[in-house]
Amino acid sequence: MGRLDAISISTLQASLIDDIPAVRVGHGCSRRDLSSDGSVRVWVVDMEPGSTWPYVDDHDTGEHYYVIEGEVIEGHARHGAGTYVRFLPGTSHRPRTETGVRLFGFNLDPAALGAAREAASRAHRFNYSQG
């Protein structure tokens, strides 16, 4: 039996992206939130031809996305299908498209990052001599 055959159906989640309800973000822009463990936000964004994201997107924890189809424009840079784009923490952007685009992306949930930093801080403050 192969490794994949040994996976229990109860440990596997599979979804058809287009079956997940889309949330309208702005004119010609929608997002589908995918299931995750809660510390990472995972999503698919669709933008119709000629659309612009309705607001500047700020990223305290950074953002990553992969262009599945179409082309996204960030500033003067054009990113076509097959391109991986990464924004560092503390950056912002406002994507647009002339052709339409579908992106698969993820970023750390700021609340989860704060909890992880607090846990690391508590561990760092522990004085091993106090046993």
pLDDT at 128 over 50: no
CATH topology classification for 16-124? Jelly Rolls (2.60.120)
At 55-87, the pLDDT tens digits run 998 888 899 999 999 999 999 999 999 999 999
Taking CA atoms, 62 is separated from 20, 51, 66, in Å, by: 25, 23, 14
* Predicted local confidence at residue 109, as pLDDT: 78
Confidence check: pLDDT of 131 > 90: no
Question: pLDDT above 90 covers what percent of the chain?
Answer: 60
Given a cut of 80, whether residue 38 has pLDDT beyond it is no
pLDDT at 121 exceeding the cut of 70: no
Task: Give Cα separations from 63 to 7, 72, 93, 117 (angstroms).
Answer: 31, 15, 10, 18
Report helix, strand or coil for 40: strand
Query: What confidence score (pLDDT) does residue 124 get?
Result: 45
pLDDT at 37: 80
Is pLDDT of 4 > 60?
no
